[in-house]
Structure 1
Amino acid sequence: RRNRKVFAACQRCRYRKIRCDGSFPSCANCQKAGEPCLDPHREKRFLEGDYVVSLEQKVRSLEAIIANRCPDIDLAAIASVRQQVDSSNSVPPTTSPWAPSGHVQSDTELLTHVIALVSLNGSSEPKYLGPSSGFSFAKLLASPGLRLDQRIRDGDKPDAGARASAEYHAVPLPPFHEAAILAEAFFDEVQWQYPFLHKPSFLSSLREVYNDKGQSQAESSYAVGSDVANVYFQVFMVLAVGASTVSKTLSMAKDAGNYYVSAMQYSDGALYNVSLLTTQNHLLLAMHALFNPRSDTNIWFMNYLLMASCIDLGLHRDVGPRQDNLPKEAILKEEMRRRVFWSCYCLDRNVGTALGRSLGIRNEACDVPNWSPISCSIHLSRLAIIITDMKLHLYRISIPWPSDLHSWRDSTYRDLIEWKAATSLLSSGKASFFAHLEVSYYPAVMLLYRPSPRFPKLSMDTAHICSDSSIKVIEIFDSLQRLGKMQYSVLSVHSTLLSGLTMLYSAQICCKNDASEEMRRLPNDIKICSSILSTMAELGWAHAKRSLSVFNTIGRVTVR
């Protein structure tokens, strides 16, 4: 009788060319020789069999701890759920191991818990997206043949011209009149949202840079002091972000890239200290990642650095009552500490919600007053606090949730309405600011009412609320785009796609019992949303092109 053929001999038997019995965790030859038995086929690494056994023992001990402390978790169902998720792009209905025993979750409930690792565009590494990002919500709309998590196709990749324009180089400062225009563009587009720079102080530094004739810029780019490095870094980064916000042509986009490269010449003296000034420089890098479609800066990594800096510097804590007769420098420093913290806070909430990430810092840990001379930023900070409450109540994976969430949601909706009424009373600011504040309100309403881990299904009433809010966002973006006031950023692309998907999903709910005007105008609203995404894709936003493809596909299915 022939012996059983062993296809995976251990490493020692392969080298010695002797028969291996394949016993686990150690073959007979290795046991006899007292040598470790290594598996050469496990992920191209040599693993000792004893190591695998130790891992299995640890798993059993952890399962015993879970069974003792969390009796509601069904450990026996975990393996089967994992196999079902891995074998299909969609998640079939099954008993969730994370739910209390006896609760069977539907397709919708499971999909609203999805946390995905997806590629946002063709040139980036995969990123984790949680429930508040809308990815799990988008999967509710996806047809069986449409994979939302697949990488961008060759035909959807950015144009060769966009890739060629990424070859940037350091350039000298532009003429003063051009620098002044770009700086004004920065403060018009960024400062009202993230007021982390003091405009008079920056403009004074800008004039000093242009008035300094004692040393050429080429000489000052080497071995410069930290103060000079910070000044030049901030000047070039403001020019880069300002050029990004007004970028409508390839040449202007290239100028933005060149200014960014010029700023990074001063990075050694501007980015590697823990100070308020360094935190401002990190915020400038984050703004470049937000507003420049060709930026390769990881916005989430910058967000992590900013929150860590805030905690290290104690910016989240109140320094106490202001003393009388403080010098102007001390008063300005205290003001900038607050403005920098609330800029980091709002960025953390905006990016964290868009990517479905956890909060960088809890509200309970912050007691610094919400104050800024820019009234728009105060209202945006207050909205970020409300959104934080939504994430903690509706988009948490662990259960049980807090009790009486229906009353809490109604109360939060009233808070949003009061916030919107307060913004309409603003007496200062440009007219476009009010449109941007309004377009911040409606996504918050959608975040409150769209399918979430806590409320996986829409009712008819909440479907109408989501439909009205999503259509409002699309209408405002369309008006801003036609009037040349649209603010293009990573977040605006995300908001456009999510508003379009919310509109489509709400239409599927409303059309079952209602043939209202909203349903009759749906094809036109789809066309408008598609046009907005198309314009964003033409301006170089790579993931807008992929978003356009997904939206058009789901839109055609919804209309049919």
Structure 2
Amino acid sequence: MRPGYTKYIVALENRCAKLEKALFEIMPDHPEIKDHYMSQRTDTPIKPSGLPYGENAKPQKTLPFTTTRTALSGLLHSCLPFKRSSHAHPTDLSSVMQPTSPSDTPANPNPSIPPIDIANRLIHTVYFHLQCRYPFLDWNQIYEWHADRDNYLHAKTTDPYEEQVGAFFLWGIYAIGIQLEPASGLDSAQSYFEQAWKYSDIVTTPHDLMTARVLLLTTFFAFRATSGLSLWLLGGLAMRLCVEIGIYKQDIFIRDPLEDQWRKRVFWSAYTFDRLISHASGRPVSIPDEAIDVDMPLDINSAVRDPESIRSARHTVPTDMTSAIMSIKMYRTRSRIHAALPALRNPATTRELTVGFLTELEEWRRNIPTTQGDQAIPMQAEDRLRWRYFLCVLLVLRPSIIKANPSDPTLSLCATAAAEACELDRTVHKGPATTQTTISVCHTLLCGTTLLYCLYISPSVISRKTSSRAIRACSGTLAVYSQLFHEARPFAEVFEHMADEILTEASSNTQSLTNVINTITSMFQGNFVPLAA
């Protein structure tokens, strides 16, 4: 088959499916659709979303999918903690992202509906936190549901699809809002999300963009759940659904600019989740970067619906998509760095790859938007974005310094980046709005040990004042973590031990120092077994 034909055939198949669907809505008994679209019919039709993406789209009619539990719904139920069993997951990946809870408070099966003023605040909190990272939700639609919440929050599992999907997102957003900003007088976040999840059999049935949103919201909730949630499985399900419905490819047949933007926003949100979870847990990504050819979403306000406004949009000022697009670009670069790590360890290819990645990262850093204290749009803090920049710089440089000599200029660059990362780490994670997670502790330890390794190779690689301040920052951050949750205590203790061994001249020839250096080197190569020992 000649190049380009595969894309054409996939696009043609998608187009045929849409035409069959449109034909069914007009002429359900037409003989040409009985062996395709009609083959999915059941005797229990339910109402579809009725939530068109296009400005001029008309309400849809009844879709013929079953209301019984689907394979996707059943799989999700098996990996969520709402119905506990005696079978534990082989790996509790939630502990990678979130510390375990000291107590396991039973969820209230009938949580109280938050008063309207508190509900408004919860939705506002989630919008500002989620939109600047993962822009997959249609907030126009969320606010419409919220304005009529009495008709959605009491939805039954026998009600039409639109009412159940509205109920799922409202209860789910309340749950996440409580995770981000606990409100007195309300039930636990788990209680509210269990209330949302009782609609899961219906809202996960269509296998469309709305189903992808359901999976992404569930994954985001899982980041801060204290037990039982397999993040890698949830994020992988969301990404695989995106592949199944074809939104990882550019679709030349999409004529509605708004639908095109939503497809891109949902896919790149799933991509960000997938890379974040896979890189943090040391597991494979769900789809390689070379298989993706869909463009990034436009940097325009997500509330814009008019097709002409979307077509003629030109980015001039920050929008509620600016921060998310910056984040997506960083994860795309980071993903390619992770894929290139074996080559970065090869001296024959190190320099060219390293310079290329550092140049790309520097270009990203120069485009970090300046934030204001009274920011009116969702925007990640400038310090957080700069911190993530230095984490990526260190990811690129670590393979180069394992065999570096004291005169290698890469050593000075790496030590400077590590010191900056330690300082920014303390700034980013000392705020009350930041949730301290286990993976953040790992980042802190890696930044600190990178600096220690550079000082071991050359004690004067950076000024003593700069290195001392950075080491104190790293040590202080880990000490705060160790007071917040017990998982961080070993990290704080091992960093103090490493710093003592490397910075104390009297121990320069001891076996203990050798063990410390070997442990750090293994960490740089992705092997954390010596650290665990």
Which bracket does the TM-score occupy, shorter chain normalised? 0.5 to 0.7
Given the alignment of the two structures, is residue 440 of structure 1 paired with residue 376 of structure 2, yes or no?
no
The counterpart of 2:264, out of the listed 322, 338, 347, is: 338
Alignment coverage as a number of residue pairs:
387
- Give unmatched runs, 5+ long, in structure 2: 1-87, 301-320, 505-533
| Contact 1:182 1:243 survives alignment (8 Å) | yes
Matches of residues 367-386 of structure 1 in structure 2 within 5 Å? 367-372=293-298, 373=300, 374-386=321-333
Deviations 1:219-278 (A, max 9, x none): x3332333222211111111111211224x8x6896212112211211211234411111
Aligned position for 2:76 = none
Q: Distance in 1 between matches of 2:481 and 2:144?
A: 39
The counterpart of 1:389, out of the listed 336, 349, 364, is: 336
What amino acid does structure 2 have at the position aligned with 1:436? Answer: R
The counterpart of 1:360, out of the listed 286, 291, 302, is: 286
Query: How has the CA–CA distance of structure 1 residues 488 and 409 changed in structure 2, closer, same or farther, with 3 Å as cutoff?
Result: same
Deviation, structure 1 residue 431: 6.9
Q: Distance in 2 between matches of 1:458 and 1:536?
A: 37
Aligned position for 2:419 = 471
Deviations 1:36-58 (A, max 9, x none): xxxxxxxxxxxxxxxxxxxxxxx
Q: Distance in 1 between matches of 2:448 and 2:185?
A: 30
Larger radius of gyration: 1
What amino acid does structure 2 have at the position aligned with 1:260? Answer: F
Deviation, structure 1 residue 396: 7.1
What TM-score results when the alignment is normalised by the length of structure 2? 0.64
Matches of residues 277-288 of structure 1 in structure 2 within 5 Å? 277-288=210-221
| Contact 2:419 2:467 survives alignment (8 Å) | no
Q: Distance in 1 between matches of 2:419 and 2:433?
A: 19
What amino acid does structure 1 have at the position aligned with 2:114? Answer: P
What amino acid does structure 2 have at the position aligned with 1:419? Answer: W
The counterpart of 1:507, out of the listed 455, 458, 465, is: 455
| Contact 2:114 2:186 survives alignment (8 Å) | no
Aligned position for 2:246 = 314
Q: Distance in 2 between matches of 1:216 and 1:380?
A: 33
The counterpart of 2:359, out of the listed 402, 414, 418, is: 414
What amino acid does structure 1 have at the position aligned with 2:385? Answer: L
Query: How has the CA–CA distance of structure 1 residues 522 and 336 changed in structure 2, closer, same or farther, with 3 Å as cutoff?
Result: closer
What amino acid does structure 1 have at the position aligned with 2:117? Answer: H
Deviation, structure 1 residue 286: 1.0
| Contact 2:371 2:379 survives alignment (8 Å) | no
What amino acid does structure 1 have at the position aligned with 2:386? Answer: E
Query: How has the CA–CA distance of structure 1 residues 488 and 319 changed in structure 2, closer, same or farther, with 3 Å as cutoff?
Result: farther
Query: How has the CA–CA distance of structure 1 residues 456 and 305 changed in structure 2, closer, same or farther, with 3 Å as cutoff?
Result: farther
SS in 1 for 2:367: helix
Deviations 1:90-129 (A, max 9, x none): xxxxxxxxxxxxxxxxxxxxxxxxxxxxxxxxx975479x
| Contact 2:412 2:461 survives alignment (8 Å) | no
Query: How has the CA–CA distance of structure 1 residues 546 and 185 changed in structure 2, closer, same or farther, with 3 Å as cutoff?
Result: farther
Given the alignment of the two structures, is residue 495 of structure 1 paired with residue 443 of structure 2, yes or no?
yes
The counterpart of 1:304, out of the listed 236, 248, 270, is: 236
Query: How has the CA–CA distance of structure 1 residues 435 and 257 changed in structure 2, closer, same or farther, with 3 Å as cutoff?
Result: same
What amino acid does structure 2 have at the position aligned with 1:172? Answer: S
Aligned-residue Cα RMSD (Å) equals 3.3
Aligned position for 1:119 = none
Query: How has the CA–CA distance of structure 1 residues 483 and 358 changed in structure 2, closer, same or farther, with 3 Å as cutoff?
Result: closer
Given the alignment of the two structures, is residue 189 of structure 1 paired with residue 115 of structure 2, yes or no?
no
Q: Distance in 1 between matches of 2:410 and 2:90?
A: 36
SS in 1 for 2:103: helix
SS in 1 for 2:381: helix
The counterpart of 1:204, out of the listed 139, 144, 148, is: 144
SS in 2 for 1:164: coil
Query: How has the CA–CA distance of structure 1 residues 243 and 315 changed in structure 2, closer, same or farther, with 3 Å as cutoff?
Result: same
Deviation, structure 1 residue 304: 1.2
Deviation, structure 1 residue 306: 1.4
Deviation, structure 1 residue 522: 5.0
Query: How has the CA–CA distance of structure 1 residues 440 and 519 changed in structure 2, closer, same or farther, with 3 Å as cutoff?
Result: closer
Deviation, structure 1 residue 546: 4.8
The counterpart of 2:350, out of the listed 405, 408, 411, is: 405
Given the alignment of the two structures, is residue 261 of structure 1 paired with residue 194 of structure 2, yes or no?
yes
Q: Distance in 2 between matches of 1:410 and 1:253?
A: 52
Given the alignment of the two structures, is residue 236 of structure 1 paired with residue 189 of structure 2, yes or no?
no
What amino acid does structure 2 have at the position aligned with 1:316? Answer: Y
Q: Distance in 2 between matches of 1:168 and 1:470?
A: 45
Comparing 163-172 and 197-206, the one that deviates more: 163-172
Identical pairs, percent: 21
Aligned position for 2:222 = 289
Comparing 163-172 and 425-434, the one that deviates more: 425-434
Deviation, structure 1 residue 496: 2.8
Aligned position for 1:223 = 158
Aligned position for 2:434 = 486
SS in 2 for 1:385: helix
Deviation, structure 1 residue 174: 1.1
Query: How has the CA–CA distance of structure 1 residues 187 and 230 changed in structure 2, closer, same or farther, with 3 Å as cutoff?
Result: same
What TM-score results when the alignment is normalised by the length of structure 1? 0.62
| Contact 1:196 1:340 survives alignment (8 Å) | yes
Comparing 383-392 and 306-315, the one that deviates more: 383-392
Q: Distance in 2 between matches of 1:188 and 1:270?
A: 25
Given the alignment of the two structures, is residue 534 of structure 1 paired with residue 474 of structure 2, yes or no?
no
What amino acid does structure 1 have at the position aligned with 2:233? Answer: F
Aligned position for 2:518 = none
| Contact 2:280 2:439 survives alignment (8 Å) | yes
Deviation, structure 1 residue 481: 4.3
Deviations 1:280-339 (A, max 9, x none): 11111111122x15142111001210121011010101112764xxxxxx4433221110
Aligned position for 1:177 = 117
Q: Distance in 1 between matches of 2:242 and 2:188?
A: 32
Aligned position for 1:116 = none
- Give unmatched runs, 5+ long, in structure 1: 1-122, 134-156, 324-329
Q: Distance in 1 between matches of 2:190 and 2:500?
A: 38
